Amino acid sequence: MPRFSTSVSALRSSAIRELMSLASRPDIISFAGGMPGNELFPVDEVEALFKSLDLKAKQAAFQYGPTPGLPSLLESLGGFLERKGLPVKSNRLLITTGSQQALNILGRAFVDPGDRVLTEYPCFIGAIAAFRSCGAEIVALPVDEEGIDIARLVEEVRRPDPAKFLYITPYFHNPAGLLYSSLRKRQLIETLQGSDIPLIEDDAYGDLWFSEEDRDRLQPIKSIDPEGIDICYTGSFSKILGPGLRLGWLLAPESIWEKCELIKQSADACSPSFSQVIADAFIRSGKIDSYIASVRQEYKRRAACMTEALRKHLPDYVKWNEPKGGFYIWLTLPEGADATVILKHAIEGGAVFVTGSTFDPDGTRNNSIRLSYCNNNPEEIERGIPIVANAIRKVCG
């Protein structure tokens, strides 16, 4: 019998991945995957951009590249991030194979088996998997409509054995859909300052805001650049260009970047040069800003359609957030409700979603549902939400 490592034995398949086989069925409406709609990708624009490149650039796309990333992309992406106020020049930028790799690298950089790390509850399933693969003990702190529970965070910071880091997704949270308030971010900064607990700030969705009035709340904590905290800022091209490129980034202080670069070197040597050349050309063409603006409006339209359907069909005892951006709506069911049983009824009716326990590091809290609207047209949303609502009523009354 093969003798597997303790860390790999702790891994579990993602429920989202398992649901994807269901989602491919033509009779199923899927609210499960957090993936852009295929019809939204800038296929023609990217094809034209690649054709316009000179031979040297096209050849470079087929070649190995430096571990930190192609210099041209580091430069153009650095400019893109500086426009958000991020301190690119006083930190180091690392191109990663999706932001998932950035989380995996950071886990390996900080965590020894048994070390405690702090996350939110609910928490992005990819982060749970990345940290657990390193043998971390995940302590999930609850969130409310403004962000992480500061009182609980204070308790953790005061422990004599501080956690190795805090991981948060403050901007259109996956899965809870929330947007941190400016006050809650200030409180978080004050709590962490001087604590020797680094902050991992995951910003995969921050460009997909729906209203100008929320722009002030979108300022990254990393851009504030507060003293006394090491902040590692991660992002991704997956939601603003295409997940198939498998490109993300990590902006970190020099001392952390050095360790992460070594870990990446041992993992894959470099991220795909072909994808990096495309991303670089897309940024330099100026098309990235107009493309983000166009998909932002489409996601806003789909979110509005889903919220209207939820108001019409959900029973009053289900609580949910009004999305301000991103991809998700989080339904909270009565205490004791089992979303897995509800999911079975929904599948029978022709719709799927992701149950709350998927986003619980302990895998026990299951009276919640994540709905994604990003990959559905309005007609699918209007047909699918009544199926979900009927399944909830069958189980909860």
Span 56-111, pLDDT tens digits: 999 999 999 999 999 999 999 999 999 999 999 999 999 999 999 999 999 999 99
Cβ 350 vs Cβ 27: under 8 Å: yes
Kindly state whether residues 294 and 277 are assigned to the same domain: no
Lowest mean per-residue pLDDT among 6-20, 231-245, 247-261, 308-322: 6-20
- pLDDT at residue 114 greater than cutoff 70: yes
Task: Give pLDDT, residue 1.
Answer: 81
pLDDT bracket for residue 21 (50, 70, 90): low
Could you tell me which residue, 21 or 77, shows the higher pLDDT? 77
Kindly state whether residues 301 and 279 are assigned to the same domain: no
- pLDDT at residue 132 greater than cutoff 90: yes
Helix, strand, or coil (residue 348): helix
Kindly state whether residues 15 and 69 are assigned to the same domain: no
pLDDT bracket for residue 389 (50, 70, 90): very high
Kindly state whether residues 257 and 307 are assigned to the same domain: no
Task: Give pLDDT, residue 17.
Answer: 60
Task: Give pLDDT, residue 245.
Answer: 97
Strand partners, 231: 199
Total-model pTM: 0.95
User: Of 264, 286, 308, which residue constitutes the final position of a domain?
Assistant: 286
- pLDDT at residue 11 greater than cutoff 80: no
User: Of 286, 317, 348, which residue constitutes the final position of a domain?
Assistant: 286
Task: Give pLDDT, residue 25.
Answer: 72
Kindly state whether residues 33 and 176 are assigned to the same domain: no
- pLDDT at residue 26 greater than cutoff 90: no
Task: Give pLDDT, residue 3.
Answer: 81
pLDDT bracket for residue 397 (50, 70, 90): confident
- b vs e for 248-280, b when ≥16 Cβ sit within 10 Å of the residue's Cβ? bbbbbbeebbeebbebbeeeeebbbbbbbbbbb
Task: Give pLDDT, residue 19.
Answer: 64
| Averaged pLDDT for residues 249-255 | 98
Is 181 within the bounds of a domain?
Answer: yes
Kindly state whether residues 279 and 140 are assigned to the same domain: yes
Kindly state whether residues 375 and 263 are assigned to the same domain: no
Q: CB under 8 Å to 375, separation ≥6 — which residues?
A: 30, 33, 35, 36, 37
Question: Could you report the per-residue pLDDT of 273-313, keeping only the tens digit for each?
Answer: 999 999 999 999 999 999 999 999 999 999 999 999 999 99
Task: Give pLDDT, residue 24.
Answer: 65
Kindly state whether residues 92 and 217 are assigned to the same domain: yes
- Can you tell me the distance from the alpha carbon of 30 to that of 28, in angstroms, rounded to the nearest whole number? 6
Q: Which domain holds residue 69?
A: 57-286
| Averaged pLDDT for residues 172-195 | 97
Task: Give pLDDT, residue 14.
Answer: 60
| Phi and psi angles of residue 361, each rounded to the nearest 5 degrees, phi first | -55, -30
Task: Give pLDDT, residue 206.
Answer: 97
- Show the tokens assigned to 153: 């965070």
Q: In one letter, which amino acid is 367?
A: N
| Averaged pLDDT for residues 157-164 | 96
| Averaged pLDDT for residues 15-32 | 73
Is 52 within the bounds of a domain?
Answer: no
| pLDDT above 90 coverage of the chain, percent | 92
